[in-house]
Amino acid sequence: MQPLSLPPRLLMGPGPINCYPRVLQAMSTQLVGQYDPAMTGYMNETMALYRQVFKTQNQQTFLIDGTSRAGIEAALVSVLEPGDKVLVPVFGRFGHLLTEIAERADAEVHTIEVPWGEVFDPQQIEDAIKRVQPKVLAIVQGDTSTTMLQPLEELGAICRAHDVLFYTDATASIGGNPFETDAWQVDAVTVGLQKCLGGPSGSAPISMSDRFVEAVRKRQHVEAGIRDSHHQDAKGQRIRSNYFDLAMIMDYWGDERLNHHTEAATMLFGSRECAVGLLTEGQDAVLQRHVNAGTAMLKGIQAMGLKPFGDLKHKMTNVVGVYIPDMVDGEQIRHDLLNIFNIEIGTSFGPLKGKIWRIGTMGYNARQDAVLHTLQSLETVLRRAGFSLPAGAGVDAALAVYADAAANGKGSL
140/157 Cα distance (integer angstroms): 17
Cross-strand bridge partners of residue 140: 169
Q: Which stretch binds a second copy (CB under 8 A): 20-28, 119-127, 155-163, 379-387?
A: 20-28
Residue 33, interface with a second copy (CB under 8 A)?
yes
Instruction: Name the burial class of residue 22, with classes exposed (0-12), middle (13-18) and buried (19+) by CB atoms within 10 angstroms of its CB.
Output: middle
Hey, is 206 helix, strand or coil?
strand
Please pick, from the candidates 89, 142, 202, 321, the single residue that binds a second copy as defined by CB under 8 A: 202
Residue 396: how many CB atoms within 10 A of its CB? 14
CB of 386 to a second copy, least distance (A): 26
Q: Any contact of residue 150 with a second copy (CB under 8 A)?
A: no
We find the least distance from the C-beta atom of residue 312 to a second copy, in angstroms, to be 23
Q: Is 409 in the site for a second copy (CB under 8 A)?
A: no
Residue 270 and residue 247: Cα distance in Å, rounded? 24
- Sole binder of a second copy in the list 24, 157, 328, 400 (CB under 8 A): 24
Question: Who's near 157: CB < 8 A, 6+ residues apart?
Answer: 185
Residues 332-361 within binding reach of a second copy (CB under 8 A): 338, 344, 349-350
Ramachandran sector of residue 117 (left: φ over 0; alpha: ψ -120 to 50; beta: rest): left
Are 149 and 119 in contact by the 8 Å Cβ rule? The answer is yes
Residue 337 or 397 with smaller CB distance to a second copy: 337
44 binds a second copy (CB under 8 A): no
**Sole window of 117-125, 269-277, 297-305, 314-322 interacting with a second copy (rule: CB under 8 A):** 269-277
Contact assessment for residue 398 and residue 371, using Cβ atoms and an 8 Å cutoff: yes
Using the rule CB under 8 A, give the single segment among 149-157, 223-231, 322-330, 397-405 that binds a second copy. Answer: 223-231
Of 330, 318, 269, 313, nearest to 289 by C-alpha is 318
Identify which range of 17-25, 162-170, 282-290, 384-392 contacts a second copy by CB under 8 A: 17-25
The least CB distance from residue 6 to a second copy, in Å, is: 5
Contacts of 158 (CB under 8 A, 6+ apart): 122, 125, 126, 129, 164
Binding flag, residue 123, a second copy (CB under 8 A): no
Smallest distance from a second copy to CB 210, Å: 25
What is the smallest separation between the CB atom of 50 and a second copy, expressed in angstroms?
A: 13
CB of 200 to a second copy, least distance (A): 4
